Amino acid sequence: MNKKYKVPSSFANKAWVDKRKYDELYAWSIEDPIGFWKEHGQCIDWIRPYSKIMDYSFVPPNVYIKWYEDGALNACANCLDRHLDTRRNQIAIYWEGDNPKEKRTLTYGELFREVSKFANGLKKIGIKKGDRVAIYLPMIPEAVVSMLACARLGAIHSVVFGGFSPEALAKRILDCEAKLVITADEGFRRGQMISFKQNTDKALSDKEIKTVENVIVIKHSRNNVPWERGRDFWYHELICDVSEDCPPEAVNAEDPLFILYTSGSTGTPKGVLHTTGGYMVYSALTFKYIFDYKEEEIYWCTADIGWITGHTYGVYGPLAAGATTLLFEGVPDYPDVSRYWQIVESYKVNILYTAPTALRSLMRYGSEPVTRYNRSSLRLLGTVGEPIDPTSWEWYYRVVGEERCPIVDTWWQTETGGIVLSPLPGAMDLKPGSVAKPFFGIKAGLIDKNCDLLEGPGEGSLVLSTSWPGQMRTVYRNHQRFVETYFSRCHGTFFTDDGARRDEDGDYWITGRVDDVIKISGHRLGTAEIESVMTAHPKVSESAVVAFPHKIKGSGIYLFIVLAEGEKPSNQLTKDLKQWARQKIGPIAAPDFIQWTEGLPKTRSGKVMRRILRQIAANQPNDLGDTSTLSDPDVVEDLIKHRLNR
Ligand code: PRX
């Protein structure tokens, strides 16, 4: 029997959605999606009203998705202009630096002015509707300003996580053919400097990049950085003499808002393309209902803007709702492990949305660093990005939230644009580890190996069988890959690549990825991506990467290496290979363990049997299953014998 927590009536009574309303609205959204989304499309402002609601096909080869296609709007105006009459002096962004002494605030009026000026600055250097702009920045207010300034002009932003290496940045710039890169001099993490400008220069030294005309640099550390005259501009200089008036560009609902690269099972990261109308409607609506956001509340999403969570629930969702949001440059354990709670106390945070990894990393220090600070402002807690184990859930609920705050465990993906499965906090009992029920308009299902839909309780692959407004529209410049990755495995449905279980109450429990994507501290990486980088090392002949259960990070990276002819394993080479992964992709891709091996377990057709490697990495060599189809079964003995003692 699963443990259940009733939502306190003090919370439920005031929530936007109670049980009856959820049932009613959900039934409406499924039985009459056009009526439902026609009405709920009104949660944002339109420059030209829509009359068409949705049109889509999930059936290959002709897959297409359109929402509100004859409407026109501007995403930035929805986040700023429409709030000016009522919220000009309300704080839009509280910013807290990595250094606790560094703080800034921006009201809606100030953010509006800054964004308008920057949009005019962008115009001045020739950025226009449809141009791609790469944003490679630390978590500073200008990151939000940059995204919104692009949106104001109808330029398409592609934010690259600041933890990615110059090479990873270069790949993304190349793929989206960016005309401009917006970066900073330097950023800070745990008091250490991160060389954003230098990394950008290194990325742009890639001879294949031919599209970048300019680099805009935000002064943050204020140290000297290398400069290329004519190409590089300081942000503050660019906007010092421009007008504060920049009317928002009316874009069609299906015009792109942004591209965000994410890892898949195979190949290089995919440019997930989101368009404007449906994405904004879905962001605004899920934000309001799932976080039960009320006027004047202080909301804090800890995700970096380089990930989809930072886009939808750090920027577009909360600002469309007129919320006050907190932007934090630092990490949970610097200068000490109370940092989160000290921030909660000092800003009186009402809603906290974070990742299980952060909770696990803090939980090991016990409750005292938490209880030392006043958390009575907290009303709702959320998690995202990876499964949360019941122990961490209970700790979050009891210690952080003092058994007063519901937890919304929200399941979604870069591809889904917004939250797809989650408890609605006033409507549902909470079960630690369950992502509960589908949001309005989402038709979720489980399929077995034959792609047959399962009825009632059971376990299988999670599919979504109808479209929703926040769904990605294509893989940038590769629609074929979009069709093949998501719609070809189970005809006519969107295949999520996550496994899930459904219990007798119809609640979902995510069991993890069913493909070769791994989540390291909630960050998404593809094993193929790491392998191709490792195999490119001159001393490596073959490599295979699998995830293994990691107490803090959820999953860690375990790397098997077959060395090139004549090369010998050594501690130095282990270090070098870890460094290689950091340098080629970023610190998040550095392997936790490297095991040398003479060969990889392959089938007769040459496919690596990852199942076996996963068992070895998890230190469960007695549970290898059937190995009879291996071309060389002796490899397994060798792998077991040399597995790392942990
Ligand atoms: O495996 C699921 C896991 O994160 C994957 C999506 O990663 P990404 O595109 O980076 O987006 C993360 C933030 C939305 C999913 O396929 N995941 C996300 N949320 C949860 C989760 N796994 C379990 N529980 C969750 N709440």
pLDDT of 644 higher than 90:
no
Q: How far apart are CA 318 and CA 79, in angstroms?
A: 8
Q: What atom in ligand 1 is closest to the CA of residue 307?
A: 10
pLDDT band at 3 (very low <50, low <70, confident <90, very high): confident
Helices (H), 9-83: 9-12, 19-31, 33-40, 75-79
Q: What is the pLDDT of residues 558-610, one digit of tens each?
A: 999 999 999 999 999 999 999 999 999 999 999 999 999 999 999 988 889 99
What residues flank ligand 1, with Cβ below 6 Å?
Answer: 262, 307-309, 384-387, 409-414, 435, 498, 510, 513, 519, 524
For residue 532, the CA-to-ligand 1 centroid distance in Å is 24
Q: What atom in ligand 1 is closest to the CA of residue 496?
A: 16
Helices (H), 375-506: 390-395, 479-487
For residue 311, the CA-to-ligand 1 centroid distance in Å is 14
For residue 384, the CA-to-ligand 1 centroid distance in Å is 6
Q: How far apart are CA 273 and CA 415, in angstroms?
A: 8
Q: How many helices (H) and strands (E) does the chain have?
A: 22, 32
Give, using CA atoms, the residue closest to atom 13 of ligand 1: 385
pLDDT of 128 higher than 90:
yes
- Residue 187 confidence (pLDDT): 98
Across the chain, mean pLDDT equals 96
Q: What is the pLDDT of residues 537-557, one digit of tens each?
A: 999 999 999 999 999 999 999
Percent of the chain at pLDDT exceeding 70: 100
Instruction: Quickly list DSSP for 480-525.
Output: HHHHHHHHTTTTTSEEEEEEEEE-TTS-EEEEEESSSEEEETTEEE
* Beta-bridge mates of residue 91: 107
pLDDT of 145 higher than 70:
yes
pLDDT band at 217 (very low <50, low <70, confident <90, very high): very high
* Beta-bridge mates of residue 617: none
How much is the average pLDDT of 141-157? Answer: 98
Q: What atom in ligand 1 is closest to the CA of residue 523?
A: 10
Length of the chain, please?
A: 646
For residue 52, the CA-to-ligand 1 centroid distance in Å is 31
- Residue 124 confidence (pLDDT): 97
pLDDT band at 166 (very low <50, low <70, confident <90, very high): very high
For residue 488, the CA-to-ligand 1 centroid distance in Å is 21
pLDDT of 220 higher than 90:
yes
Q: How far apart are CA 305 and CA 319, in angstroms?
A: 14
- Residue 634 confidence (pLDDT): 87
For residue 360, the CA-to-ligand 1 centroid distance in Å is 17
Residue among 422, 519, 555 to mutate when testing ligand 1 (max atoms within 8 A of CB): 519
- Residue 1 confidence (pLDDT): 57
Give, using CA atoms, the residue closest to atom 26 of ligand 1: 411
User: Residues with Cβ < 8 Å from 264, sequence gap 6 or more?
Assistant: 270, 485, 515, 517, 526, 528
Long-range contacts of 618-627 (CB under 8 A, 24+ apart): 618/548, 618/549, 619/548, 619/643, 619/646, 627/601
pLDDT of 337 higher than 90:
yes
Percent of the chain at pLDDT exceeding 90: 94
